[in-house]
Amino acid sequence: MGLSARVRRTTFVWTMLTMTSTADHVVAPAPPPHVGPKPHVATGRIEGTVEISTALTARRPQFRIYSDPGPGSTPPPAPRDPLAAEARNVVVYLEGDADQFAGLPIDATRRRASVTQRDERFVPHVTAVARGGTVEFPNDDDVFHNVYSLSSAAGPGGFDLGRFPKGESRARTFHRAGTVQVFCHIHQDMSAIVLVLANPFFALPDERRRYAIEEVPEGEYTLVGWHERIKPIMRKIRVTAGQTTTVDFNIPLPQGGGRP
């Protein structure tokens, strides 16, 4: 074999080896990225007590103009302990930047609530749900009831669930944050409030007037004490991971201004 032929053969072999090496480099799969657990969100706890600072004088009508005959013709009695009853009508919740709550899972219990029609009252009078939550309205009374609202937070035009008897229940889902005032067409002195909140960090006081908000992401917030008859009370707080922040509220309700 001549010199020129050997040079051509060597060049060809070298070219093929180079192409094979390059092709192998291109098609070789990259190692899979490391997939570890999701970052842990550092959380703390908020707790405290709620006190009502004034006695209430409830003014309730003594008759109903359009009520059904029978038990529905007389109004239900006022609560024996008005202060305790009003403490249960307080909602404590967090306000903060939307980014502080973005991507956080919402417990299903924060999007479900029930307001029962019992003894011709809505029980409880105040409830809260996270935005997108659904509230059930079961009827436990022997008379027909109705559930309706004209509040803007209830959606365009509000809603009306119609009349329904004992043993039945109707539901409504709330997609807007805000205050929804609920009434009954049949019994004009029945009323309730659904507070629809933009995040799931809220609580209502228990029978001991204590509240607790669990697993709050670390950060700075405004903690709000809400009652339908006062301007919301706001407290600037900082939640530290692994610690409990204690905030007590005193709700100064005006005297003689009970719900109609």
pLDDT averaged over every residue in the chain: 82
Question: Is the pLDDT score of 190 beyond 80?
Answer: yes
Give the model's pLDDT for residue 81: 73
Q: Is pLDDT of 31 > 70?
A: no
Q: Does residue 87 register a pLDDT over 80?
A: yes
pLDDT for the residue 241: 96
47-86 pLDDT per residue, tens: 999 999 875 444 444 455 445 555 555 556 666 777 778 8
Predicted pLDDT of residue 37: 47
pLDDT higher for 3 or 189?
189
| H or E stretch at 136 | strand 134-138
**Alpha carbon distance 252, 141 (integer Å):** 34
Q: Which of 130, 96, 89 is nearest to 258 (CA)?
A: 89
Provide the token pair at 65: 């103009």
Q: Tell me the whole-structure pTM to 2 decimals.
A: 0.76
**Mean pLDDT confidence for 246-259:** 78
pLDDT band at 1 (very low <50, low <70, confident <90, very high): low
Burial 103-133 (b: 16+ CB within 10 A, else e): eeeeeeebbebebbbeebbbebbbbbbbbeb
**Contact partners, residue 46, CB within 8 Å, separation at least 6:** 92, 94, 212, 213, 216, 223, 237, 239, 244, 245, 246, 247
CATH 3.40.50.970 fits domain 43-251? no
**Statement: residue 94 has pLDDT above 60:** yes
Q: How high is the pLDDT of residue 99?
A: 81
* End-to-end CA, the chain: 114
Residues 75-102, mean pLDDT to the nearest whole number: 82
For residue 22, name the pLDDT band (cuts at 50, 70, 90): very low
Task: Give the β-pairing of 210-217 and 202-203.
Answer: unpaired
- Residues 137-155 have a mean pLDDT of 96
| Percent of the chain topping pLDDT 90 | 61
How confident is the model at residue 62, as a pLDDT? Answer: 46
Q: How confident is the model at residue 105 (pLDDT cuts 50, 70, 90)?
A: confident
Q: State how far the Cα of 177 lies from the Cα of 185, in Å rounded to an integer.
A: 24
Whole-number Å distance between alpha carbons of 165 and 117: 10
Pairing of strands 43-52, 249-251: parallel
Q: Say yes or no to pLDDT of 220 above 60.
A: yes
The pLDDT of residue 38 is 47
**pLDDT tens, position by position, 152-167:** 999 999 999 999 999 9
